[in-house]
Amino acid sequence: MGRYLLRRLGQAALVVVGVLVLTFLIVRVVPGDPAVSVVGPRASPEQLTEAHHRLGLDAPIPVQLWNYVRQLLTGDLGTSLHTHQAVTHDLGVAFPASLELVGAALLLAVLVGMPLGVLAARYRRTGTDVAVRVQSMLAVSLPVFWLALVLQNVFATTLGWFPVAGEYSSSLDSTSPLHVYTNITLVDALITGNWPIFTSTLGHLVLPALVIAAYPMGVVAQLTRAALIEEMGQDHVRMERALGFRERQVLVGFALRPALNPVLSLLALVFAYALVNAFLVESVFNWPGLGRYAADAIRSLDTPAIAGVTLLVAMLYVLVNLAVDLLQSVVDPRVSLR
Amino acid sequence: MSLATVAVRPSRLGRVSRLVRADLLAAVGAVLLVLIVLASLAAPWLAPFPQDGTTATHATQSLLPPGGGHLMGTDQVGRDVLSRLLYGGRTSLFIAAVVLLLAAAVGVALGVIAGYAGGVVRDVIMRVTDVFLAFPALLLSLALAVVLQPSVRTAILAIAATWWPWYTRLTASIASSIRSRGYVDAARCLGVSPARVMLRHVLPNSLTPVLVQLSLDAGGVILTAAALSYLGLGAQEPTSEWGLMVEQGQALFTTDWWVVTFPGLAILVTAFAFNVLGEGLRAALDPRRNAR
């Protein structure tokens, strides 16, 4: 176990270094000279050289990479070109909002996807099974940005069942202002007992969360079905059937538990994917998260902001992967022998 | 294309066709796909207004509802939506084909080397794939597409850059299991060069899973390419592209639903066809699943 832990941590560290180098390279190959945007297009050659020196752009690439990493270690991701604030500050506001949205979506995906998977496994090769499979296949084939537009137009703009955009009604800021602790609006509203904002946020959350939930829901349903069907072929299931348990008890009481493991580790991996899908959805619903921040950054060619978002999501992916692997080796010690 | 290659193998032809018949969903996917590919290839002849697929504009005919001369209506500059849809299919299928070709070529080559060589070579290659896999496809594509000039070519490069590691992982695991087989040992003992062993013995055995993976991935590539174009980082006006059509029409959705609805449906149906076909092929060619 100890050796496995060390090896896995070493691997993760190597990947982190690679991620840093790759992000650095992306920032460095940006067309045009970053110094020009600092001193202006009409600066004299001397001013430009001076700016190059000041920004460290005249140093050899490895030295620049080292400076970049050193800057990152002090928690400095540069200044955003479109909000004119520290990128770390912007991320600190945007990320919790995305987390709120993706968290709600994944919860929804499990609550709907798992029962669908169980249903498909129970009534395998019947109309129900085919319906669930078609539905989950459609869910993973939907272009999220289009689904977001369709739901917004039908259920918000036309029918008026849900708010069109935003995180909560902006008028509430004056009637019942929110005290910010975590930047996750739902949590802040809950711990300060701010019910108007809490319910307003829930209402605003429904449509975007539904859109982001579509993909993980389809994957969860498919995997639950496959894992259950696999489990139903095991000896312990034959035993339970022989003992006279009803099919429903066998399925939900005995077969579902071991089938949960792959679903949970899948969810951790889908998290990063859902976060990126949220990028497309947040712009449509004007949700103040990472995605809208990234979309704005793209429009203004804001490289520090893009690099910051890229770095954050990639690091999250590495950490979540590491956590899943270590958890699995605790649950199933055979993993660490591989 | 990948389908055809699988199907012409005589030993598998019977099995594949039998199982496709058993798997109605996959068969539906295959039929849809053939129709989509044919319609895109024949776009210049099928499109009611071929010149609308590219540069033509008709200011007097903007935003006509579906019906009459325009089955799917016209967009804000008067172009026939159906014609642009057919031409858009060419863009999407072209992007998917080139991306998958690039990704599979690089990925499979590295995978065979990693799996066959083992040791340090394998470790180095696998750590590099880990780094690229840490960036979700759309994210790295976003970052790359921002620093390069947005175009179909940039989108292709950006998506391919994120897709190859999957093929490396897949091929490496197959190659390392083939490495210990008797016939590979025999070839090595006879003095056959490593390059020849890889080409003649390791590569052919990796192809079937790679082909299945290609058909499974095509849907994802089409969705990613459409998302990039939707964000303005892929195909540019006046190229017909489904994601771009959605982006251009989104402000008009409430009043002129057809400009957004049809291109979105086209993306959905194409991705769905690839996904069910890939899923069906995987089930058909996976002997473990056949047993049950």
Count Cβ atoms within 10 A of the Cβ of residue B14 and give its class: 0-12 exposed, 13-18 middle, 19 or more buried.
exposed
- Chain B closest CA to A246's CA: distance in Å? 23
A144 touches chain B (CB under 8 A): yes
CB distance B147–A303 less than 8 Å?
A: yes
ipTM greater than 0.90: no
- Residues in A closer than 8 angstroms to B246, CB to CB, are 143, 145-146, 149
Structural domain A93-291, CATH architecture: Orthogonal Bundle (1.10)
Shortest CB distance from B136 goes to which of A133, A137, A272? A272
Phi, psi of B269 (to 5 degrees): -65, -40
Q: What is the pLDDT of residues A229-278, one digit of tens each?
A: 888 888 888 888 888 888 888 888 788 877 777 787 788 778 877 888 88
Question: What does the alpha-carbon distance between residue B81 and residue B242 come to, in Å, rounded to a whole number?
Answer: 10
CATH number at residue B87: 1.10.3720.10
Identify the three-state secondary structure at position A168: coil
Model pLDDT for residues A16-45, shown as the tens digit of each residue: 888 888 888 877 655 555 666 566 667 777
Cα gap A281→B276, rounded to integer Å: 25
pLDDT of residue B288: 57
Q: Dihedral, CA atoms, A113, A115, A120, A122, nearest 10 degrees? A: 160
| Beta-carbon separation of B143 and A279 below 8 A | no
**Confidence (pLDDT) at B12:** 60
Alpha carbon distances (Å) from B175 to A206, B119, B129, B198: 47, 13, 16, 9
Specify the DSSP element, H or E, that contains A83.
Answer: none
Cβ separation A317–B272 shorter than 8 A: no
Q: Look-up: residue for tokens 């202006």? A: A40
Q: Phi and psi dihedrals of B80, rounded to 5?
A: -70, 120
Tell whether A149 is within 8 A of chain B (Cβ): yes
How far apart CA A251 and CA A123 sit, in angstroms, is 11
Asked if B144's CB is within 8 angstroms of A310's CB, the reply is no
Query: Domain range spanning residue B217?
Result: 3-291
- Rounded to an integer, the average pLDDT of A189-212 is 79
pLDDT at B256: 80
Outline where B148-257 has alpha helix (H).
152-179, 182-189, 194-197, 203-230, 242-249
- Please, where are the H alpha helices in B42-151? 43-46, 81-117, 119-133, 137-147
Share of chain B above pLDDT 90, in %: 16
3-state secondary structure of A181: coil
Output the pLDDT for position B269.
94
3 state SS of B191: coil
pLDDT in tens, B153-164: 888 988 898 889
Contact B70, B80 (CB under 8 A): yes
What is the SS3 assignment for B70?
A: strand
User: Does pLDDT of A107 surpass 60?
Assistant: yes
Tell whether the model's pLDDT for residue B51 goes beyond 80.
no
| Helix or strand run (H / E) with residue B50 | none
CB atoms within 10 A of CB A238: 12
Q: Which of A25, A129, A145 to mutate to probe the B interface, most B CBs <10 Å?
A: A145
Query: What domain count does chain B have?
Result: 1
The distance from CA A149 to its chain's CA centroid, rounded to whole angstroms, is 20
Which residues of chain A are in CATH 1.10.3720.10 domains?
A: 93-291
pLDDT of residue B96: 92
pLDDT tens digit sequence for B217-264:
999 999 999 988 888 888 888 888 898 888 888 888 778 888 888 998
Instruction: Examine the pLDDT at A296 and tell me if it is beyond 70.
Output: yes
Write the pLDDT tens digit of every residue in A128-168. Answer: 888 888 888 888 899 999 998 888 888 877 787 888 777 77
